[in-house]
Amino acid sequence: MRMLFNRAVRLLALHVRRHAQVVAFFLLALLVYLPTADYDQQQNMDVVAVAVPVWSVIERGTIDVRPYQDASPWFFEADDRFVSNRWPGTMAAALPAYLAATPWVTADLPALWPATVTAVLVAAGAATALFGLVLSMHGPGPAWVAGGVAAFGSGLWTVGADSLWTHAPSVLAIALALHALRTGHQWWAGICFGYLGLLRLHLLVAVAMLGYVLARECRDLRTLVRLGVPSAVGLLLFLVYAGQLTGDGSVDLLPYGFAAPRGWERITNVIGLLAAPRVGVLVYTPVLACCVPRVGQAWREAEAWERAALVGGLVYLTVQVQSNHFFGGFSFYGYRLPLEGLALVFPVLVRSGVLFARASRSRRTAVAVLSAYSIWVSAVGAVLFDPPTDERLQPWITYGPAEVLAPYSPAVSAVAVAAGFVLVVIAVMSVRLMEARPGWRLGAASE
């Protein structure tokens, strides 16, 4: 009896510690995101096209954005009104913030800052959900490393938490769906996936592949129903929304511009996604390279839902990178389009990274150094980047940190570089500290 009681106490203490770490991580993300977000009236045209309609609905009682239709090219005329072609799920995420901000917002001028507050909260929630996922799978050490890189060493900080793009809500929905899959709650996962249909419609392609792989791995066709029915509802809701918005019924998609790559562009698109100095994933989050060598072993050790998510993520990245021409984007720092795909492959990448780091101290040091660099390069942009909204920087010849630091004095640049060196030193020192703490080692399994 005493052994059972002691075990129950230990499990309760572990449960409390884990929840305390999750809360602490969320508060840390808020503490970092809030002061570095963009609250200006001049923001990217995509963000404007999300925020202004929500403001208009709350303050003016209409989705018609006239007379502010020139604020973004994504406003178009339909059914004798000007409306936005942005995703309704992102707009819905901002509704609570605009409702709460009513005493400080007027109906005379569109306000963008409530949308930014939404972005901060949602991005912090998304980062925390990813942190919690690793915490439950691998323990606190890997969780703080992988969660820290996801939160502060990726586009989730520099883009998702900067202003209300569609990426932070999408990553949050994916992370919650992965939690549900891990715990066997497939209907809840399906509901989260269904919401993706209102956020980025082509994510449903990844969901379809994920559902197929998982059903095949588990030999259970009911998985297709649990994931597919809510996803189909999400698709139907988007079609109804689009049809009502345009006045053309329930089958028309909103107008959008695509220029599919041709010939060699298909290869340069992939290279640009990975290594373009302006937006390459490996340029801003190079620690991902440490997650590649052990992917084969990670695949064999992973659970079925992890493998299914990996396949879905790779399919999504393929669709994303081959559906439009590559020009690098503008008025944001780092990368944004791969975020959803990276969220889907996150569990297997982390498992592979843990296997890589477990092999030797030198590899753990490499993970620490590249993680520190990832966080530093993101911090430079999150703190100092302030571009004109219409400036288009060449993706192949523009290195983000250099472009950001160029307008500042040499003293500011020196301080920024010195901060990077300090961060790397701290990361290297932390390797030994983590090795000395049971449960915090990169190779430690969760209790």
d(Cα 302, Cα 308) in Å, to the nearest integer?
A: 10
The whole domain housing 419 covers 2-43+116-435
The whole-model pTM stands at 0.93
Count other C-beta atoms under 10 Å from residue 362's C-beta.
9
* pLDDT at residue 317 in the model: 95
Domain count, the chain: 1
- The secondary structure of the chain in percent helix, strand, coil, rounded to multiples of 5, reads 70, 0, 30
Residue count (the chain): 447
Residue 439: what pLDDT?
54
Question: Is residue 217 situated within a structural domain?
Answer: yes
- According to the model, what pLDDT value does residue 440 have? 52
What pLDDT does residue 441 have?
A: 55
Provide the pLDDT for residue 443.
46
Residue 96 belongs to some domain of the structure: no
Contact 379, 306 (CB under 8 A): no
Residue 77's pLDDT is 87
Residue 185: CB partners within 8 Å, gap ≥ 6? none
Does residue 97 lie in a domain region? no
Cβ atoms within 10 A of the Cβ of 263, count?
Answer: 7
Classify residue 428: in a domain, yes or no.
yes
Residue 92 falls inside a structural domain: no
189 assigned to some structural domain: yes
- 3-class DSSP assignment, residue 335: coil
Residue 28: inside a domain, yes or no? yes
Amino acid at 126: A
In a domain, 75, yes or no: no
Integer Cα distance of 276 and 396 in angstroms? 5
- Mean pLDDT of successive 10-residue stretches along the chain, which has 447 residues: 62 72 96 95 90 95 92 88 92 96 91 97 98 94 95 97 96 98 96 96 95 94 95 94 78 64 83 92 96 95 97 95 80 92 97 93 93 96 77 80 90 93 90 67 45
Q: Evaluate whether 372 touches 423 at the Cβ level (below 8 Å).
A: yes
**Residue 11: its pLDDT value, please?**
60
pLDDT of residue 447: 36
Question: What is the C-alpha to C-alpha distance for residues 164 and 411, in angstroms, rounded to an integer?
Answer: 32
Measured CA to CA, the distance from residue 377 to residue 424 in angstroms comes to 12
Q: What is the 3-state secondary structure (H, E, C) of 19-32?
A: HHHHHHHHHHHHHH
